[in-house]
A = this chain, B = another copy of it.
């Protein structure tokens, strides 16, 4: 096992380097594809410029935030022994790498889009190859940077805090300090992810809703029509929201999952001296394996003819990477973890011996990983059912569109609410099962198993918006029907993968948050989070409310920005003569500016709520109430995330169903029919649900848990309401507090 301690730790960043190398090769390949000509190149240039303009504006704000937060962290790092000002450095590195991962993805996406359009002029197979390779670059970049960053920092902190101080003991305070400082990396990554996801989500939907409301509904021109002043902003939005935002989101999840598992791994090590450093390294090794097998899986995604199924090609690649990773993980677990049964025993606390004996075996750990994979798969399947065309939920919304806008909305809301049932049962079983196999470490490693093939998941996710953009460019450039037909084929698959990707993302966020939650409890040194206590219960209520206000801020921001967009588009149609006859060019840049400004302004409030609430609650009421708050945020956030994402997805596909015609009570309805108009209303309501507030829930719950984990060592005083009452009593009767006081009766 010396090999593990001495060498394996240095191998981890190598996995990341391999990923980045392959990424560079693929990026070079995409860049040298034909970028088209004339209008195509011009329009793609507008999109790329708009996307960069947004990123620059966002970075300006985030730079200030990172500086301020970094200084605060450095200062707070000096106040307790188990932390260090160095946490600020890992915070800044995490923030930078997260932003950089988003940038890389967006750069390649804004190149791959127009090249996909060009490729679609020749064949579907080539168009898939270009768009999916673009997605792969994004996936490998995110995973590679995460592993290099986390792995390298861990090597440094392990050397500085553990090896130098204690020789090479991996348990105890030294290791706790190394991991606490490392948590700054995750905090940095997740903070940027939140702003990128919320900002990008507001941007893309303000543009989308605004473009649709005036273009499709009022002016009667198709989506992505070059005459619509908001169309460039709409296409920019796909890149800043679905690509850069999603990339930063998964970067954050990926890092947070590994970190939480490492913290819990350390607890196993220090309680039982189980397996040396192996439980700490395991999540990073699994991630590394997942990255390598994502490269293998991605290479298997290809089609030969125009009639081959794109969805099947993606599924084959996806399953290959998951199955191969699972098999490899089995052998790695067998090799890394010791044989025999080990027992997690809760220590003696406050003079009370807790005799809970929990067996802990390497097969148990592998079992928990399998639970994670099963949960992720089931969540994707359920999400697809609730949002796919032709299935009961979407059909019910179509039927309810026949009686108007209101019943369409009622139908979508009820589908969204209903769609929480199965995912929650799966998740609850997953929590129960992974805990049964390997305790809280099991819950964390299950999340790590789910997240292992993040590179492949992200390749599939990012392929969607690239194909969407390619279709937009084809439409705007008025290319032949067959080109648009090919990009539509890719886009339709992209819509399905977007929905299943969201199911996967929410499941991983939930398990990650629970892992972080468990890590927080360990680091804060509390024994219970007892909701029978009034103040913990109050914390649970407040926590449950946060996803509601967060969602309200996100969707009202989209509503406001979309209205500004509508007014601008109406103004241009009114004041610039000749737009409708293709004689005058709309002022695209004005719409881009509206989305950019609105999204940057509106992302601040929700972001600050997520960051500051745990700090206030933690310091004012102590770690147990903060634990209640986190539980409330997680449960309510998962529910609101599933509800909103699925309602939005179902509305979207109900609307899309009208393109081929919908049979309602024997009558066929097409586009422009009254039921179709009702379905457009649902789709528009669903837009901010599924692309702004819904997916932001993932980051919200993770970020609040990470903030709590980072401040946990600072939360010493246990100020519960019970404690406050006891304190009040102690002031009066200082002698008798530890005895059972029999009060005098004066009756």
A-to-B contact residues, CB < 8 Å: 1, 209, 213, 217, 272-273, 275-276, 338-343, 345, 352-353, 355-359, 396, 399-400, 402-407, 409-411, 413-418, 420-421, 424-425, 427-429, 431-432, 434-436, 439-440, 443, 514, 518, 521, 528-532, 534-535, 537-542, 544-545, 548-549, 551-553, 555-556, 558-559, 562-563, 566, 627-628, 631-632, 635-636, 638-639, 643, 680-681, 684-685, 688, 721-722, 724-726, 728-729, 732-733, 736-747
Contacts and interface: CB of A to CB of B under 8 A. Distances in A.
Contacts of A737: 355, 357
B431 A541 contact: yes
B409 A409 contact: yes
Contacts of A545: 420-421, 424-425, 639
How many copies of this protein are present in the complex? 2
A395 to B, nearest CB: 13
Given A396-B556, A417-B549, A529-B530, 9 more contacts: A343-B729, A357-B740, A358-B722, A407-B559, A414-B551, A420-B549, A425-B542, A427-B538, A440-B534
Nearest to A521: B532
Contacts of A680: 406
A725 B402 CA distance: 54
B635 A743 contact: no
Contacts of A429: 538
Given A409-B681, A549-B420, A738-B355, A541 B404 contact: no
A424 B549 CA distance: 11
Contacts of A358: 722, 725-726, 729
B421 A563 contact: no
A415 to B, nearest CB: 8
Nearest to A425: B542
A163 to B, nearest CB: 20
A420 to B, nearest CB: 4
Nearest to A725: B358
Contacts of A443: 534
A404 B217 contact: yes
Contacts of A558: 410
Contact of A555 (B276, B414, B514, B744): B414
Contacts of A743: 272, 340-343
Given A339-B747, A340-B745, A532 B529 contact: yes
Contacts of A563: 399-400, 402-403, 407
B209 A406 contact: yes
A170 to B, nearest CB: 13
The residue in A417, A418, A425, A741 that gathers the most chain B C-beta atoms within 10 A of its C-beta is A417
A733 to B, nearest CB: 8
Contacts of A341: 743
Contacts of A338: 745-747
A481 to B, nearest CB: 30
B628 A531 contact: yes
Contacts of A275: 747
Contacts of A739: 355
Contact of A352 (B352, B403, B439, B636): B352
Contacts of A681: 404-406, 409, 681
A724 B359 CA distance: 11
Given A420-B548, A632-B635, A339 B746 contact: yes
A571 to B, nearest CB: 13
B729 A357 contact: yes
Contacts of A432: 534-535, 538, 721
Contact of A417 (B356, B428, B551): B551
B631 A540 contact: yes
A531 B529 contact: yes
A721 B435 contact: yes
The residue in A402, A424, A440, A559 that gathers the most chain B C-beta atoms within 10 A of its C-beta is A559
The residue in A406, A418, A688 that gathers the most chain B C-beta atoms within 10 A of its C-beta is A406
A738 B343 CA distance: 13
A529 B413 CA distance: 33
Nearest to A354: B740
Contacts of A632: 635
Nearest to A551: B417
A721 B442 CA distance: 13
A376 B358 CA distance: 47
A275 B421 CA distance: 47
A537 B728 CA distance: 32
A299 B410 CA distance: 42
B548 A417 contact: yes
B420 A741 contact: no
A528 B416 CA distance: 34
A428 B535 CA distance: 8
Contacts of A725: 358-359, 436, 439
B340 A744 contact: yes
Contacts of A209: 406-407
B746 A559 contact: no
A3 B431 CA distance: 55
Contact of A635 (B407, B435, B544): B544
Contact of A410 (B272, B404, B528, B688): B688
A120 B326 CA distance: 77
